[in-house]
């Protein structure tokens, strides 16, 4: 008993200082893509290199990146013109699907707070039911780690609950396979209104590497109204936490 207490004092306070202090991210971390203007006419190297069709050429002939499809694989920076790179910015969450389309020189429209009535209900306490809809467990793991003492999700009044009857909304990971579609919709219906829906990860947002398969959905927003999109494969835990806090007006 005394050794346990002594060890606790030795370790000290281990919860991070986020959001008061910016997090220290690992060296290999790839954050928000940066698209520079001036792509040479006719060059489609990034479009051809991208294995998930996240890169495209718009009507003006400039490169765009769909963060909802992007798996952050780093194949697109192979562009010999150096027009695409990855920053260290972990803030990726948005409220609208169209805001995930990155254009040259454009800043990401980060998620804004819930409307007045929903914020009044959920601003101080938000209970979410996590639905793993056919995912690989990477996004699920990074959501789960938010409950550890480093992130301490509960200090913000946010927690994951076991029953949709006790939830204020659902947080969905995975591409929503056909075998999970009915379970997902039943879970959504079981959550009392008003409720919110959060899509976490490239699979939930756009199908990820399974996009186009008849066995998965075309994106969660094709099935349910989505209030928050958090891209990544998987999103860094601080990316998820930042998105949740922005939704509650705490960032």
pLDDT band at 75 (very low <50, low <70, confident <90, very high): confident
Q: Domain 33-90: which topology?
A: Alpha-Beta Plaits (3.30.70)
The domain made up of 116-247 is a member of CATH 3.40.50.12280? yes
- Secondary structure class of 158 (helix, strand, coil): strand
Listed in sequence order, the DSSP H helices in 93-198 are 116-122, 138-144, 178-190
Q: What does the alpha-carbon distance between residue 229 and residue 247 come to, in Å, rounded to a whole number?
A: 10
Give the mean pLDDT of 162-181: 97
Question: What are the extents of the domains in the chain?
Answer: 33-90, 116-247
Give the pLDDT of residue 232: 95
Check residue 3 and give its pLDDT.
Answer: 87
**pLDDT tens digits, 118-137:** 999 999 999 999 999 999 99
Q: What percent of the chain has pLDDT over 70?
A: 95
Strands 63-66 and 55-57: antiparallel
What does DSSP assign to residue 228? E
Closest-CA residue to 94 (of 250, 236, 227, 204): 227
pTM: 0.91
String of DSSP letters for 57-99: E-TTS-EEEETTT----S-GGG-TT--EEE-S-----BSSGGG
Q: Is 230 helix (H, G, I), strand (E, B) or coil?
A: strand
Sheet holding 63-66, edge to edge: 55-57, 63-66, 101-102
| 72 contacts 233 by C-beta, under 8 angstroms | yes
Taking 3-state DSSP, the helix, strand and coil percentages for the chain, each rounded to the nearest 5, stand at 30, 15, 50
pLDDT at 98 over 70: yes
């Amino acid at each position: 008993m005394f050794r346990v207490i002594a060890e606790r004092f030795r370790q000290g306070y281990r919860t991070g200082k986020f959001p008061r202090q910016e997090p220290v991210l690992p060296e290999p971390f790839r954050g928000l893509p940066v698209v520079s203007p001036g792509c040479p006419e006719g060059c489609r190297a990034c479009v051809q290199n991208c294995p998930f069709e996240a890169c495209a050429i718009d009507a003006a002939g400039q490169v765009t990146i769909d963060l909802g499809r992007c798996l952050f694989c780093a194949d697109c920076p192979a562009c010999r013109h150096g027009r695409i790179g990855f920053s260290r910015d972990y803030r990726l969450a948005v409220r609208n699907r169209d805001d995930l389309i990155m254009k040259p020189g454009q800043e990401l429209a980060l998620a804004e707070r819930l409307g007045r009535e929903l914020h009044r209900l959920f601003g101080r306490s938000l209970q979410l039911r996590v639905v793993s809809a056919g995912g690989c467990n990477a996004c699920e793991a990074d959501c789960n780690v938010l409950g550890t003492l480093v992130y301490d999700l509960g200090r913000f009044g946010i927690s994951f609950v076991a029953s949709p009857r006790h939830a204020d909304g659902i947080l969905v990971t995975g591409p929503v396979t056909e075998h999970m579609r009915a379970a997902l919709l039943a879970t959504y219906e079981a959550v009392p209104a008003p409720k919110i829906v959060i899509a976490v990860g490239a699979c939930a947002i756009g199908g990820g590497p399974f996009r186009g398969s008849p066995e998965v959905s075309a994106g969660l927003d094709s099935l349910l109204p989505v209030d928050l999109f958090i891209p990544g494969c998987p999103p860094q835990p601080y990316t998820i936490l930042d998105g949740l806090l922005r939704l509650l007006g705490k960032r």
